[in-house]
Amino acid sequence: MVVRPFKALRPTKEMVSKIAAKPYDVVTEEQARDVAKNNPYTFYKVSRPEINFEYSADTHDPEVLKTGRQHLDWLIKEGHMFEDGEPYIYIYQQHWRDHVQTGIFATFSVDEYIENKIKKHELTRKDKEDERALHVKVVKAHTGPVFLMYKSRPEVDSLIMKHATGEPEYDFTDESGVRHMVWVLRDRNEINKIVEAFKSVDAFYIADGHHRAAAAVRAAIDFRNENPNYTGEEEFNYFLAALFPHSQLKILDYNRVVKDLNGMSEEEFLKKVGEVFEITKVNGTYKPERKHTVGMYLSGRWYRLEPKTGTYDENDVIASLDVSILQNNLLAPILGIENPRTDKRIDFVGGILGIEELVRLVDSGNFKVAFAMYPTSIDDLLKVSDEGKIMPPKSTWFEPKLKSGIVVHLI
C-alpha cells in the first residue's frame, strides 16, 4: 500500500488550537457559526464556507466555496499558516479519557481507492459527494483528513510509535477534552522506513470519512480529465488521511430512540417483543455488557433484550450484527421502521453522550422508547469490509474524532 509524504499547509504552534476544528460533517451550520462568532480564525470558515455569509448560502455554489479558499489565503497571508518546504510524514497522537491512539498524517492513492485496496463499509450519497468534490476543486485542497486504519502489525506499529516521543510540534486539548499531539517526522531515512513497511500491507480500511474519500477521488478524476497528460505524481492523485492501527481504535455504541410504539399499547408492544427476544427487567440503569444484548428503556424502566434462537444467522456477518438483529426483528416488523435512513420516527444517539441521554429523551416525552446498543467491534467492521459488504446505517461511532486544519493538503 502507498503511504506518501507531503508538504503540509499547517498552523503555527501559537494558532493551532484556534484554527483546528471538528470535521465539517459532525457539526451543524448553526454550531459552526457560533464558533466563528468568537473565533475569526476557525477552520470552519474553510470547511463550512456557508458561514462566511449572513444568510444560509448554497454549498453547491462555487462563489460560496471560493470564500473558503479566501479564508485559507488570509490565514497564510497573516502568517497564521505556512507550508512545509519538504514532504514529511506527521505523527498524530490523540488522548481521550483513558484511551490513546497513535497514527500518521500522510497522503494516499486515489488509484488504490478505485481498485478497492482502500476498503469501504458505507454507502455514500451522490449529493454529498458532489458538494465535497466541488469543495476540493474550488478550494484546491483536501481540508479534512479521511480516517483510515490498517490491520495492526507490531513491526509496522513500532516504526510509528518510536517517533511519538520528545517535544511535539503541537500539543493542545480541544473543547471535547481530546488532547492532540503532532510530531513532524523530517528524517528522510525514517520516513522511507515507514513508506517501505506499508508496501507489504495488503489493504487500508476507511473507519470514518467515506464521503471525504469519495469526493477526493471524484475531484481527482475531474482533474485528470482536465489534464490528459497527467503523470500520476500530481498532488490531486493523492488524498489526505490519518492512518491508525486497528488495535488502537475505539468504537462507541450507536443507540436508537423511537417516537412511538406504532399504534400499540405498551402491553401489546412488550408481548410482541417477547416473541423474538428474552426480556429481563433490570433494576436501575442498564448498559449492554456484551454482544447480542440490547438495553431497552420504556416508561422509566430498563429491560435487557437477548435474541431468541433462530432470530439471526450467526454465520452471516451482517445479519449477526446487533444493529441488524434489532432492525430485522423489532424496528421493522414490530415498530414499522423499514428504512432507518429516511424514517422520521427514529433518531440516533452517539455513545459519546452516554446512556443518560437516552433516558432524557424518553423522559422528555419526545420519544417513547430507546435502545442501548453494545458497540460494533473493529473485527466485525474489518470482516464486513473484507467481504465487500455494507454496514447497516448508524452502526459505528468512532471516538475521538479527527481534527481538520491541523494539516492541509494543497493540490
DSSP 142-179: E-S-EEEEE---HHHHHHHHTTS-SS-SEEEE-TTS-E
pLDDT, tens digit (0-9, with 9 covering 90-100), for 365-399:
999 999 999 999 999 999 999 999 999 988 999 99
b or e along 110-121 (b: 16 or more beta carbons within 10 Å of the residue's beta carbon)? bebbeeebbbbb
pLDDT along the chain (411 residues), means of 10: 98 98 93 96 97 89 96 98 98 97 98 98 91 97 98 97 97 96 98 98 96 97 96 97 97 96 97 98 95 97 96 94 97 96 93 93 97 96 95 91 97 94
Distance CA 41, CA 36 (A): 8
For residues 160 and 354, what is the distance between their CA atoms, to the nearest angstrom? 32
Q: What does the pLDDT read at residue 405? A: 98
Give per-residue pLDDT as tens, 296-355.
999 999 999 999 999 999 999 999 999 999 999 999 999 999 999 889 999 999 988 999
Q: What is the pLDDT of residue 200?
A: 96
- Can the peptide bond before residue 400 be classed as cis, meaning omega within 30 degrees of 0? yes
pLDDT, residue 229, reads 96
pLDDT of the residue at 381: 96
The pTM for the full model equals 0.92
Residue 341: the pLDDT is 86
Contact present, 29 and 51 (Cβ < 8 Å): yes
Neighbours of 1 (CB within 10 A): 19
- The span from the CA of 411 to the CA of 234, in Å, is 8
How does DSSP assign 202-259, residue by residue?
--EEEEE-HHHHHHHHHHHHHHHHH-TT--S-SGGGEEEEEEEEGGG--EE-EEEEES
How far is residue 82 from each of residues 50, 107, 146, 249, 324, measured CA to CA in Å? 24, 18, 21, 30, 47
Distance CA 392, CA 411 (A): 34
43 three-state secondary structure: coil
Sign of the torsion angle spanned by Cα atoms 132, 133, 134, 135: positive
d(CA 369, CA 364): 11
- Would you state the torsion angle of the CA atoms of residues 42, 45, 50, 53, taken in this order, to the nearest 10 degrees? 90
254-374 CATH choice from 3.10.150, 3.30.310, 3.30.1760, 1.10.1420: 3.30.1760
**CB < 8 Å & 24+ apart, contacts of 121-126:** 121/205, 121/206, 121/210, 121/381, 121/384, 121/385, 121/389, 121/390, 121/391, 122/206, 122/210, 122/390, 122/391, 123/210, 123/390, 124/210, 124/211, 124/214, 125/211
Q: 14: which residues sit within 8 A by CB, 6+ positions away?
A: none
Range(s) for CATH 3.30.1760 in the chain? 254-374
Single-letter code of the amino acid located at 33: R
Which residue do the cell numbers 513508506 mark? 195
- Helix, strand or coil for residue 197? helix
